[in-house]
Structure 1
C-alpha cells in the first residue's frame, strides 16, 4: 500500500486505517511479559504511546469518536484498578493530564497528582539524581535509559504546567540534561540505549533506533508544553540537529533506518523510522532544525507508508526491547505490529499534512 505525498486526501484515508489498526491489534507472537504490550486493553507504556497519538489527532481534527474512545479507555482502566507505579506505567498519564483539562473530571486530576508526586519525589534515582528506569520486572538499579524521557519525563513536565508547580518543570529539565550527559555519543551525536552507574559504561554501546527516536519524537512535543528557557531550548535543539545530521547520513536507500542505526546488517525498523520522520518534519516546521532535513523526513514517511497493510496495520516493528548487553541482542528482537508502531506512524502522517501545499 502506498500514498502519494502530494495528496492530502490519500494521507487522511491512511490515517483512518492506522487508527483502526491500532484499536484492533492482535497478539501474534509469544510475549515475554506478564501483561500484553500489544493489546490496547492493557495499561502500560506501549499503549500509553498509542493513546497520546490518538489524543493529538483528536486535537488536530476534533473527532469526537476519538475523544470518546480515550475517555472510555481510561474510565474502564480506573475502575479495574491501576498497576504498580514505575517508569513505564507512567506513560498513559500524559494523555490523562490532557483529558483532565478537557473534562475537569476530578478522578483524572487526583490520579495525575498522585503519580506526578511519586515521579518527582519518590521514584528511585541514580547518582546525579537521574530517574532510574524501574520496570515491572526489574529495578534496573543505577541505570539511565533513553526511554525514560518519553515514558515519564514528558508527563512530569506536563503536570508542572497543569498544577502550576515549577518544581516539576525544573525537574523535567534536569532529567533531559542528565540523560543527555550520559547517553550522548560525542563522536556522532547519536544516543546510546542506556548507562549504568554501577559499572560505568553504556552497556552494549548500541545506537538503538527506537531509543534514539524517543528523543527525536519526544523533544518536539516537550518544547510545546511550556516556555523552555532559551539557553536550555538551544541546548536541546542543537543536540537534536546533531542527531538528525547523523541520521541523514545513516538513512538506508529505502528511506528506512536500521534497528541498530550504524549497522546495516541489522533489520530496517518501522517504529524508529516513523518516530524520526515525525520529529524531523515537526522540527523543520517549527524552525528547530534546518530545512535541508525536510527531504530526509519525507523519504522516511514514504518508506513507512509502504509498510502499512490494507487493514491499517504497520509492519516491521520491533517488539519491546530491554537493555542489551550485546549488539546481537537487538538484532534478534522479533518484529510484529505494536501500538507504538501505529502511534508513531499516526503522528508522522498527521504532521505531514502541514508540509503539503494548501489544497
Structure 2
C-alpha cells in the first residue's frame, strides 16, 4: 500500500488534460467522422469537452475556458456535421458555455440543436430517441449510449431555458430506455434493443462502456435539475442494482471486462473509469454505500496503472457499434481515445474530493509491482 497524495493526483490530472487537448489519430479509423482527433466534432470529443468543462468549474483555470471557447469557435467556422444522436454530444458543453459566457451565438446554436432533438430527431415506438448516427439510421433501435450523448443536453437546456417540457422529455427517455434495455436477471443494461425483426437485444451484450454511460451520466443528470421523487427513486434504484452487480463482476485487478459477464473479454479502462467515477460521486451524494466506494477506489488503482508517464490513458476500446455477436465486442481494437482521457479525468477530479491523502493500494504501481490480484 502506498499513499496517493493530492500533488500526485494533480500532476496526473494535468498530464491527462494536456494529452486530451492534443489527441490525434493512432490507427486507421472506420467511423464516418474521425472519432480520435480532438479537432473533429463527434461524440468522443463531446465527452472529452464535458470533462474539461467540469475540470474548469473546479479550478477556475481561464486557460481551460479559453481552450473550450476556441475549440467551439473553430468548429463552428469550419461548419458543423449533420445532426444526430452522437453529434449532439458536444452541445452539452456548449450549453454550459452559453450559460457561463452569456454569448448569444452559443445560446442560439443550442436552441437550434435542441429544436431538432425535440421535434425532428427520429423516434422509435413509445417515443424513444432512435440511435441515428453518422452513416447509419439504425431504424427502430434504442442504444444505451443515447442517454449520455443526447438526453443530458436536453435536460441541461431545460434548465437553461427554464423549460419544463425539456425536463419531462429527458425523464421519458430515461424511462423508455430503461424499460427496454434493462436485463431483469442482473440489473445491467443490454447494449441495444430493436423494435424490428420481432424485437430483440441483438447479441444480448452486457457491454461495459454502454453500462458505464448510465453510471457516470446519471449522477450528473441528477445534479442538473430536480426530478419528481418517484422518478428520482426509480433511477437511483436502477443505479443501485447495477452497482451491486458490478461489485460481483469486478476483476481481481480492480477493472471490468469489456463484456461485463465474459471474463475472456479484455479489461477496458474507459468503462472502468466511468464506473468508478459514477460510484464515487454517488457515494459522496449518499446514493451508494461504503462497499461501492471501496470498489471504486480499487478501480481508481487500475486506471492509474493504465495512465503512462505522458498522461495517455491506455487500454481503451475504439468506438463500438451494435454487435450481432459477442465476438464482435471482443475484437474491437484498443487505442487511446478522447473518452478514455475524459473518463479518467472525471474520476481523478472526483477522487480529489474523497481525500487527497487517502491510501489507495498499489496506486501508480506497474503490474509487476502490484501487491494484490
Please report the TM-score for the alignment, with normalisation by the length of structure 2.
0.94
Instruction: Give the alignment of 1:129-208 within 5 angstroms.
Output: 129-199=127-197, 200-208=199-207
Alpha-carbon contact 2:47-2:339 (below 8 Å) kept: yes
| SS class of match (2:142) | strand
Aligned partner of 1:220 in structure 2 is 219
RMSD: 1.2
Aligned partner of 1:308 in structure 2 is 307
Alpha-carbon contact 1:190-1:246 (below 8 Å) kept: yes
Matched, 1:76 2:82: no
Aligned partner of 2:371 in structure 1 is none
Kindly state the Cα deviation for residue 86 of structure 1 after the two structures are TM-superposed. 0.2
Partner of residue 86 from structure 2, selected from 79, 85, 88:
88
Change in CA separation of 1:120 and 1:4 when aligned onto 2, cut-off 3 Å: farther
Kindly state the Cα deviation for residue 357 of structure 1 after the two structures are TM-superposed. 5.8
Kindly state the Cα deviation for residue 34 of structure 1 after the two structures are TM-superposed. 3.0
Partner of residue 25 from structure 2, selected from 4, 24, 27:
27
Separation in 2, partners of 1:33, 1:239? 32
Instruction: Give the alignment of 1:90-109 within 5 angstroms.
Output: 90-109=88-107
Kindly state the Cα deviation for residue 292 of structure 1 after the two structures are TM-superposed. 2.0
Separation in 2, partners of 1:227, 1:138? 34
Aligned partner of 1:11 in structure 2 is 9
Please report the TM-score for the alignment, with normalisation by the length of structure 1.
0.98
Q: Deviations over 1:91-148 (max 9, x none)?
A: 0000000101111111100110010111011100000000000011110000000000
Unaligned residue ranges in structure 2 (runs of 5+): 359-373
Separation in 2, partners of 1:164, 1:122? 21
Matched, 1:319 2:318: yes
Aligned partner of 1:61 in structure 2 is 59
Change in CA separation of 1:275 and 1:4 when aligned onto 2, cut-off 3 Å: farther
Unaligned residue ranges in structure 1 (runs of 5+): none
Matched, 1:258 2:247: no
Change in CA separation of 1:357 and 1:136 when aligned onto 2, cut-off 3 Å: closer
The list of structure 1 runs, each at least 4 consecutive aligned residues, that deviate by more than 2 angstroms after superposition, is 3-6
Alpha-carbon contact 1:6-1:356 (below 8 Å) kept: no
Corresponding pairs, count: 357
Alpha-carbon contact 2:190-2:204 (below 8 Å) kept: yes
Q: Deviations over 1:222-253 (max 9, x none)?
A: 00000111111110011001000000000000
